[in-house]
Structure 1
Amino acid sequence: MRLMALFAAFSLSVSAQSVTRAGLTVTYRDPADRGQLARVFTVWQKAAQDLKAKGLTLPPATLTASRNASDFASLTGYPAHIAAITLKGNIYTQRLAALHARNLLPYTLRHEAFNLAQPPDLPRWLAEGLARVFSGEAQKDPPERTGLETLSERELDTLLARASGLGLNRVYREATRRAAQRLKQQGWQETLTLTSR
């Protein structure tokens, strides 16, 4: 009997809980993540408003918060150090409480919201650069050069697909630099309609 009670308690601690609000369904396995739900929905609603102002519509979405970093890697097939990824219209994140503790939660949510709402034919480098500008991540980038300024946009796309660790950070910074430059010259509306330049 005692063994059954322990098993039931363990099952409750790892069973997933889901909450839906403002077009977002959040599924989490760590009970500590429940304390982040109000923040998640507030950031999500603001992101939807900001995207609408840029002519983009945020579709209904699902977000699955992982139990831990290795759970994230097994759910997504991506490295355990990544904060979040959108796959086939579904967002997968690290534990919400862990993202909040590292002050990454709002940036992560806004980045993935942009990825969901972006035009489907944006080149990857531009999509990721714009997502980082939209999320506010770009404000944290160091001002020094990336050393990737001479790469073509196609080469930048290839590096985004292959780079890892600190090298990937540098590639994201270069994509962001170029996206921000394009926004400065052309604004959001025109930049979002550029697919082949």
Structure 2
Amino acid sequence: MRRVLAVLLALGLGSAPALTVREGRLSVTVGDPRDRAHLGAVFGAWRGAERDLRGLGLTVPAVRLEASASAAEFARRTGEGWLVAATTRGTVIHTQRLGALAARGLLPLTVRHEAFHAAQPAALPRGLAEGLARLFSGEAARDPAGPTGLEEVPDARLGALLAARSPAGLELDAVYREATRRARQLVAARGWRGALAIRR
């Protein structure tokens, strides 16, 4: 009997069904039952993000957040590695397990970051979009002080490095920090609305 149960679980036939909960314009689907405990934190972070995005003049669309049941499932769905917390494609946000993000202290930051991407202008340059998302979410507050070593890299090249996800010979963290440094300078010079008006 144990062997049959193990096979069913491996196939996903004996596991608890996915649960979908909707609040306002956000629906969240969790594949791991343990992630149900984190739904309140997700919706709370989303409400704050929606309010702040509206304050920036952005419209938040109806969004579906799909929390993977495991890092392996996240990789299958997105093609991303286990270090990536989430990815937004149109109005669908794919995340790692909510519990895994919460354990790393990343759950509210990830929700806010991806909410920004769901609402951002479509023509925003890639590097600027990532930098602004990190400022908006609060992730940038965790960045170490000091130079990134990428200050002379052109904006278009920085965007390409971000798109590559694993740039040869570079720490991806430094690429994100440089995008954030540039976004911070732009917001200081033009304000959020001015930064959001920039197009490719």
TM-score band, normalised by shorter chain:
over 0.9
Deviation at 1:161, TM superposition (A): 1.6
Consecutive unaligned residues of structure 1, counting only runs of 5 or more, are none
- Contact kept? 1:22, 1:41, Cα under 8 Å: no
Cα separation, 2, equivalents of 1:105 and 1:129:
18
Show the counterpart of 2:159: 157
Kindly tell me the number of residue pairs found equivalent between the two proteins: 193
Partner of 1:125: 127
Does residue 105 in structure 1 map to residue 102 in structure 2? no
Is the contact between residue 62 and residue 91 of structure 2 (CA under 8 Å) also seen in structure 1? no
Cα 1:97/1:163, change in 2 over 3 Å: closer
Structure having the higher helix fraction is: 1
Aligned to 2:184: 180
Distance 1:185 1:192, change over 3 A: same
Aligned-partner Cα distance in 2 for 1:73–1:180: 31
CA 1:12–1:163 in 2, change beyond 3 Å: closer, same or farther? Answer: closer
Deviation string 1:113-156 (CA, Å, 9 cap, x unpaired) is 00000000000000000000000000000001000000110111
Distance 1:12 1:56, change over 3 A: farther
Structure 1 residue aligned with 2:59: 57
1:89 alignment counterpart: 91
- Deviations 1:75-95, CA, capped at 9 Å, x for gaps: 111112210001232100000
Instruction: Quote the Cα distance in structure 1 between the aligned partners of 2:78 and 2:111.
Output: 17
Q: TM-score, normalised by structure 1?
A: 0.92
TM-score by length of 2: 0.91
Q: Closer, same or farther in 2 for the Cα pair 1:158/1:186, shift >3 Å?
A: same
| Unmatched runs of 5 consecutive residues or more in structure 2 | none
